[in-house]
Structure 1
Amino acid sequence: MGSPVIIHGHCLPRYQALYDAFTANFVERGDVGAAAALVVDGELVADLWAGAVAPGEAPPWQADTLVNIWSTTKGVTATCFAMLVSRGQIDYERAVAEYWPEFAANGKGAVTVAQLLSHQAGLCGFRRSARVEDFYDAHKAAEELAAMEPFWQPGSNAGYHAITIGLLATALFEKVEGRSIRQFVADELANYDISIGLPAIRAHRAATMIAPPHMGTEALMTELTQPQMAALANPPLDPLLPNDPAWRAAEIPSANGFATARGLAHLYGELARGGGNLVSPDVLERATQVRYEGPDAVLGVPARWAAGFLRNVSGLYGESEAAYGHGGWGGSFAFADPDRQIGFAYTMNRMGTDLIGDPRNISLVASI
């Protein structure tokens, strides 16, 4: 960069390494606008932001700048389900079809709530040619997916339901709770400054997503299998979709969450302390229990799927085997480490091309 980056916020001296890594992400790794936050035992020990909300002579990133977090949204959705289980309204081990009878079609009658949330239902995409607009009518899309023949025998494999898990999840959630996940987040997680989609009242705070030329979901893999094609390339997703008013208006609780790093860190910080006021400790244990371990049939990388959360794999969230969270396309991520009672989050607007192992993420995690 032409001029030194100015880092805003605060960071306790003990976490100077995080401050340095965050700074280096701008100086050495191309960040344009970003934020990072660390909560330890309920205390916000680092809350950093820097850069600009868009390319060029754009306004500076603020303390409350929101950004689309892509699949980091999935951890929020997993938390909503854990809250519902804690309240006795749904059970991870019960069949989805008990709450949603139509879901039983085409041999899916035994699929449990936990299997659905851990990407084992085989509904990773549509079988027909789809358009992005199909994701904007969540109810219609969910009905079609529920009636569909799965891409594999449910429970025999797991493959990342990149977008469809959000559509299925909110349909199931609404049948059980009465509110959609979007409404539930607005009502129950307002303190964490997270929304599904971007309500007009929050729009002025949103950063613009930036991506390299020719970047799209279909480029994540070379030769696509049928499930990969369905999940990642039907339709291919443009990384700049979050700048589109139609995307921002939709309800896609797998991919169109808008949040601050601070809010996400507080959310995971609460979970890291045994669930806090959100989730009972016994339910949190079930929510984060590994439901599938092995190669992911869509992403082609090792995965340890819990009930909507990704359990730590390949040191993604540091050294703790017990850590869990979720990351998003392009680089955002948030996680809880219950061993050290920490919640951490990183949000940014300049998307990277690494499916896993974004150098910005590796550096931040190593620093804490």
Structure 2
Amino acid sequence: MLISGSSKSVSRLLNDIKNAAPYKVNALIVGPTGAGKELVAQYLHDWSNRHGNMVSVNCAAIPRELLEAELFGHEKGAFTGAATRRIGRFEEAAGGTLFLDEIGDMPLELQSKILRVIETKSVCRVGSNKEVHVDFRLICATHQNIQDKVKRGEFREDLMYRISVIVLDVPPLKDRIEDFPDLITALCNQIETDGSGLTPPTVNEDGLREMVSHSWPGNVRELKNFLQRAAVLYRDAPINAETVRRLLHLNADRNSEQNALLQATSEIPDVDSEIESDSKNNTDAFENVGLNVLDYGFCLKGFLSDIETELIVAALSVENHNIAGTAKRLALNRTTLIAKMGKYGIK
């Protein structure tokens, strides 16, 4: 995917990336969740002269007791379950770029080891006393204020200075509303080619104005999810202002969703009632949940499944695809969440 838009903030960001990309200096990408920090890291790598791969590690998604072995690798028998030698992410990034996402969540006890690797460009696998030299470029990202974490004693000050030779600030979506047309086009093109089988939605001017007025706390990731949701639920109609409001309602908290559905379904008359005389009330009830029964028909089970799917996808995005965090956010058991993901084909 491309960094799309012509706003001043995006133009400045692209210019900073081009200036920093050719040099093997550490870079820190800051910005809110969902704004596209990993995409900026990919640009830095792609526009550099490094021939190795970009290896990504989400420091918040890996349990702290496993993160060290993930980064440094381990020798056979180093700990219970270490049946074979494993190369760590630092070594995998040799000749290329190591991207440490959410560096602000890295355990304090591991930060000193990261600092030493940065200084010596060598790693020691868990269970070994042999140093391995590694040529890598380090790019980090965080949505947190690292300086505040330093003041609270949660992040090493010397490490902060080491990783932030270059600082790239990714703006939130609400600060670049002029980029909406370009972003929608780029995201719709991605939907068309991502193998999902979806047909990208069309957004009319009325719908675009309504979208621009939304704060988009989930940033570009939320916008992408919104367009995917529109492609599923409104395949044959352009996205207007009313549709935008209905679709954004799916981002409400879970209790609000359940209350809205209960209220809507409670207004549907019994099958023994006179359908003809109550058809207007029937239609109003369905419109409360974002559908027009006269145009589309209605399947309650399918509609509830769609909502549950979208809520799970949205929660996974917010939690950076961490299963435990997503289950907690949705008030589900971890095994229940995994079962639901399998049921709905969510990867």
- TM-score normalised to structure 1 length: 0.23
Structure with a larger share of its residues in strand: 1
Higher fraction of helix:
2
